[in-house]
Amino acid sequence: QFFAPAEQATIPLLVPREHLLAANSLYQATSMGATIVGFALGDPILRGLNHLLQTVGINGGEFLLLPFCYGMAAISLSTIQMREPPRKDSRDSVWKEIVAGIKVLREQTSVRGAMVHLVVLYSLLAALYVLAISLASAIQGLGPTGFGTLLAMSGLGMAVGAVLVAQMGHRFSRRRLAAAGLGTITWCLVMLGQLRGNLSITLTLCGVLGIGAALVAIPAQTTIQEDTPESQRGRVFGLQNNLINIALSLPLVLAGALVSSIGLIPVLWVLAALSLTAALWERPWERC
């Protein structure tokens, strides 16, 4: 809760405005890369630590990995030299801080639209975390316990999409990038329902869906960083963090209940309709 808003508010202080899109692309690519590596290597590393430390009489050695990673991250962050403007002491309540962040969203149309894109995107991704179990169970040879493979493939797609946005994203308007990404997600959701059970096709669609997610997330995050007044970034990114946490939490509950009651394909269609509505809301056919 402290780190995420500060992280997003710090990037515009360290990176010139004209390089923000590339910086956010690099941030997204390395984050997804770390997630994929964590899924792949986490279990053997934890087992190795447990076995290694048991030989010297220390039990529970696997629990030392996370404190070590957080400690290394804290040390690396302490080396960053950043010229941050001095802040006046604020005695505003938390509620006033939240209201100030909402006021920025109300006044800055571009920031509000980008925030909506992120909330919709993370709601879709959270629902897919649940649906991945059902999709994996329909694939012979994978099974429900193999859903991590589908998630890793979507993470790989996001990393590839981040590289594409970094290289070519400046050639297109943010509105059309968002519409293209949401349209891609819509198509993938429909196809996942129609072609479920085939491993190679499902993996491919998960990868393409990840590319579409990158087309939405990176321009939206860059827009928020560019158009939010510097003095309000902490408030806005704190609000963003809370909204994304809600967007990640509610679909985890709702998607599972819906799949149990109406089935997998209708839920995929509902998510596709939500994504398509968000894409059409951008009116990509208009000149930007």
Q: Report the CATH number that the domain containing residue 145 is assigned in CATH.
A: 1.20.1250.20
pLDDT value for 252: 77
| Model confidence at 288: pLDDT above 60 | no
pLDDT value for 188: 93
What does the pLDDT average to over 87-113?
74
Is 154 in contact with 209 (CB distance < 8 Å)?
Answer: yes
Q: Residue 22 and residue 169: Cα distance in Å, rounded?
A: 8
Provide the domain count of the chain.
Answer: 1
Q: Residue 179 and residue 100: Cα distance in Å, rounded?
A: 29
Using alpha carbons, select from 89, 97, 101, 196 the residue that is nearest to residue 142: 196
Is 207 in contact with 79 (CB distance < 8 Å)?
Answer: no
pLDDT value for 280: 86
Specify the residue for token string 């509105």.
Answer: 175
What does the pLDDT average to over 181-198?
89
- 90 within domain boundaries: no
- 124 within domain boundaries: yes
Query: Which residues form the domain of 213?
Result: 3-82+96-281
Query: What mean pLDDT value characterizes the chain?
Result: 82
For the ranges 9-23, 60-74, 109-123, 204-218, the maximum mean pLDDT occurs at 204-218
- 87 within domain boundaries: no
Query: Tokens representing 281?
Result: 């809301």
pLDDT band at 64 (very low <50, low <70, confident <90, very high): confident
- 167 within domain boundaries: yes
- 253 within domain boundaries: yes
- 288 within domain boundaries: no
Rounded to the nearest angstrom, the gap between the alpha carbon of residue 117 and the centroid of all alpha carbons in its chain is 11
Is 238 in contact with 90 (CB distance < 8 Å)?
Answer: no
| Model confidence at 236: pLDDT above 90 | no
Rounded to the nearest angstrom, the gap between the alpha carbon of residue 52 and the centroid of all alpha carbons in its chain is 35
Taking only the tens place, the pLDDT of each residue in 210-229 is 999 999 988 888 888 888 88
pLDDT value for 205: 92
Is 221 in contact with 93 (CB distance < 8 Å)?
Answer: no
Q: Residue 98 and residue 238: Cα distance in Å, rounded?
A: 8
Return the CA Rg of the chain: 21
- 287 within domain boundaries: no
What does the pLDDT average to over 7-25?
83
Say what percent of the chain tops pLDDT 70. 93
Query: Tokens representing 136?
Result: 């994996």
| Model confidence at 148: pLDDT above 80 | no
Ramachandran class of 90: left when φ > 0, alpha when ψ lies in -120 to 50, beta otherwise: beta
pLDDT value for 89: 64
12-26, 179-193, 197-211, 265-279: range with lowest mean pLDDT = 12-26
